[in-house]
């Protein structure tokens, strides 16, 4: 398993405390109090960000542009949607290891659950189709439909869709597929004004 590389951004005093605990941590921990090079910071899997360092506007702007897991370390009771998790002080070795591993696993899961389809992003976890900061909520079957159509370069017949998603026999009524495709097309067109997202011909449906 890949050992997580974690970078601490914060005060020298708090780093000294963390540094004493390094042997008990399940990840590789480094510190940066002076070097704020975006290219260097971006190489880390997780950023441990002490609240007091966020008073520096330059640091805040750098952190925003980094795709790593971001954990806010604070002694206040707070939730911050800009961060993947919050580590409340005082804390323990067990809690530090848990928060880092949980946050990294969650981010990996979320990234793996997102699929780019044309100019859209399909978020399978949240069941959303997203484009230009706008989104629509999808049903589980609609997510499966889009994923199936995306995975196949050739058109898929109604009977094959019925079999693969609903697990019905090939001689079952295909009206179910037609109804779901119609509703999905309407959702997409109403929100994104795109009536060409799901196409069809004599062979079936395709993207």
Per residue of the chain (207 residues), give pLDDT as tens: 568 888 888 877 778 878 888 888 888 888 876 556 766 777 888 888 888 888 888 778 777 767 788 899 888 887 766 788 888 888 888 998 999 888 888 777 666 678 888 889 898 888 899 998 899 999 989 998 998 898 887 899 988 888 888 877 555 577 889 999 999 999 999 999 999 999 999 999 999
Q: Show the domain range for 133.
A: 114-206
The upper half-sphere exposure of residue 100, i.e. CA atoms within 13 Å in the direction of its Cβ, equals 24
Split into its structural domains, the chain has a count of 2
Distance of alpha carbon 64 from alpha carbon 76, whole angstroms: 21
Count of all residues that appear for the chain in the document? 207
Contacts of 200 (CB under 8 A, 6+ apart): 155, 181, 206
Residue 182 CB coordination number (10 Å): 11
Closest to 166 (Cα-Cα) out of 152, 185, 155, 181: 181
**First-last CA distance in the chain:** 37
pTM: 0.52
In this structure, what CATH number is given to the domain that contains residue 168?
A: 1.10.10.10
Last residue of a domain, one of 74, 95, 112: 112
In this structure, what CATH number is given to the domain that contains residue 10?
A: 3.40.50.2300
Q: Are residues 124 and 82 in the same domain?
A: no
């Amino acid at each position: 398993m890949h050992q997580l590389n974690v970078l601490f951004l914060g005060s020298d005093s708090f780093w000294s405390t963390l540094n004493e605990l390094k042997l008990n941590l399940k990840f590789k921990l480094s510190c940066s109090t002076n070097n704020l090079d975006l290219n260097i910071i971006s190489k880390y899997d997780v950023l441990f960000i002490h609240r007091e360092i966020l008073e520096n506007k330059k640091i805040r702007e750098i952190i925003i542009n980094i795709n790593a897991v971001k954990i806010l370390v604070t002694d206040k009771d707070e939730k911050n949607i800009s961060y993947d998790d919050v580590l409340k002080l005082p804390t323990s070795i067990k809690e530090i290891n848990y928060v880092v591993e949980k946050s990294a696993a969650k981010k990996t899961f979320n990234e793996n659950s997102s699929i780019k389809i044309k100019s859209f992003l399909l978020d399978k976890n949240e069941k959303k189709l997203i484009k230009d900061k706008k989104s629509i909520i999808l049903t589980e079957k609609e997510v499966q439909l889009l994923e199936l159509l995306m995975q196949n370069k050739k058109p898929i017949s109604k009977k094959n869709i019925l079999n693969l998603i609903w697990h019905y026999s090939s001689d079952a009524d295909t009206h179910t597929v037609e109804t779901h495709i119609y509703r999905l097309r309407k959702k997409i067109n109403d929100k994104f004004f795109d009536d060409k997202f799901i196409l069809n011909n004599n062979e079936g449906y395709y993207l």
